[in-house]
Amino acid sequence: MLNVIIFGPPGSGKGTQSELIIAKYGLYHISTGEILRQEIKKQTELGAVADEYIKTGQLIPDELIIKILADVLDANLGAKGFIFDGFPRTIAQGKALDQLLSEKNTSIIAVLNLAVDEEELLNRLIKRGEESGRTDDDPVVIQKRLEVYRNQTEPLKEFYKKKGKLFTIKGNNSIEDVFEKIAEVLDRLSFQAK
Ligand code: AMP
């Protein structure tokens, strides 16, 4: 399986690049944010819990999101590979993902880290907020999400760097340029996938 994590702060282009990766490599997309937004839309119990965290820019508790992820993995074992978008977001989630994949005799092949400077992130998120209607693309919540990213999510870079799996790609460039760099990495590594 070709299992890839698309990593980076909110607004770094993870969703956009995921779509291009899926089109080229046929991976199954797991966006935990998207799963949660669907639950909110369907007005489920889980959606009601998630909404409380999302609208204030906080992370959903590890235990809950790990359970959701485990269920999605189990339901899609026939996939050629997975692209994880917005997961993991904490070291505990990273460890849980390693464990879940190793139980299925597979692993993460690459963590594609999209590096975008903060000013550009803010511009993009505010613009997206005007178009997407997402409750968390509001200026105050955006600041909180960036802070949560720095404190809870960014340490994962070191976690994957130590494993030799971190590939940093400058995300300020055009969508096509960023994808070209991503494809270089994935083409180089895909033969190692198991
Ligand atoms: P995203 O669409 O990935 O930006 O996620 C939107 C929001 O959903 C985040 O700000 C969190 O509140 C929540 N969320 C998504 N993925 C996770 C995760 N892996 N762990 C905890 N919370 C998450």
CA distance 50 to 53: 5
Is 37 in the active site? no
Question: By C-alpha distance, which of 124, 69, 74 is closest to 92?
Answer: 69
Show the low-confidence residues of the chain (pLDDT under 70): 194
pLDDT for 10 equals 94
Q: Who's near 83: CB < 8 A, 6+ residues apart?
A: 3, 4, 5, 6, 18, 21, 22, 27, 28, 29, 30
Pocket-testing residue among 46, 89, 141, ligand 1, by greatest number of atoms within 8 A of Cβ = 89
pLDDT for 16 equals 94
pLDDT for 194 equals 66
Cβ 89 under 6 angstroms from ligand 1:
yes
Question: By C-alpha distance, which of 16, 5, 37 is closest to 137?
Answer: 37
What are the φ and ψ backbone dihedral angles of 167, each rounded to 5 degrees? -125, 115
Cβ 145 under 6 angstroms from ligand 1:
yes
pLDDT for 11 equals 93
Cβ 68 under 6 angstroms from ligand 1:
no
pLDDT for 52 equals 96
137, 154, 4, 31: CA torsion to nearest 10: -30
87 Cα nearest atom in ligand 1: 19
Query: In this structure, are residues 136 and 55 in contact, taking their beta carbons and an 8 Å threshold?
Result: yes
CA distance 109 to 189: 7
Neighbours of 121 (CB within 10 A): 22
pLDDT for 45 equals 96
Model confidence pLDDT, tens digit, residues 27-45: 999 999 999 999 999 999 9
Is 14 in the active site? yes
**Residue 71 CA to ligand 1 centre (angstroms):** 17
